[in-house]
Amino acid sequence: MIGLFKVKEKQREQAQNANRGGGAPVKKQSAGELRLHKDISELNLPKSCSISFPNGKDDLMHFEVSIKPDEGYYQNGTFVFSFQVSPVYPHEAPKVKCKTKVYHPNIDLEGNVCLNILREDWKPVLNINTVIYGLYHLFTEPNHEDPLNHDAAAVLRDNPKLFESSVRRAMVGGYVGQTFFPRCIS
């Protein structure tokens, strides 16, 4: 708590100095921005994950995470997720979308992600690191029991070999059924 008071005190001091010097006032950060800044500074990502800020470091509330699984069905693919973080974070889970079209039981063709900690199991004690590890886990252990893409889930459940070949076909850039998937494999 002392650290939070020091941050607020420093912001107040910067705002006063900016007002005296005729410069632009310092934008006050929301509690969500402060918590997100802390979460990002403490990230401990697997080497197969990276984070980027397409709008620059001044916009921490919108960022992207790239995941390159090094095992499983999706090995060597690159999957990009966009994160939108609410000012009331951590009391509300971040909004996460998969920007890479992927044949996956837990990610639909619009990029919606079925991950319990982004919905009913979200708690303020969770953080961005937890979400990224959860997304990574979807690629190492896809779950056919809680699907968004019901066709992919049925194939995974009933014919894992066909599922594996469908994933490979999609990742190299090809059709699975009537749906085309752009190349995402390196």
User: What residues are annotated to the active site?
Assistant: 114
Q: Which two tokens stand for residue 50?
A: 């990276």
* Beta carbons within 10 angstroms of residue 49's beta carbon: 19
Q: Which residue has the tokens 């999609």?
A: 170
Integer Cα distance of 118 and 85 in angstroms: 12
Strands ordered across the beta sheet of 79-84: 49-52, 62-67, 79-84, 95-98
Amino acid identity of 174?
G
For 113-130, the DSSP string reads B--GGGTTT--TT--HHH
SS3 4: helix
Closest by alpha carbon to 104, among 136, 66, 133, 127? 136
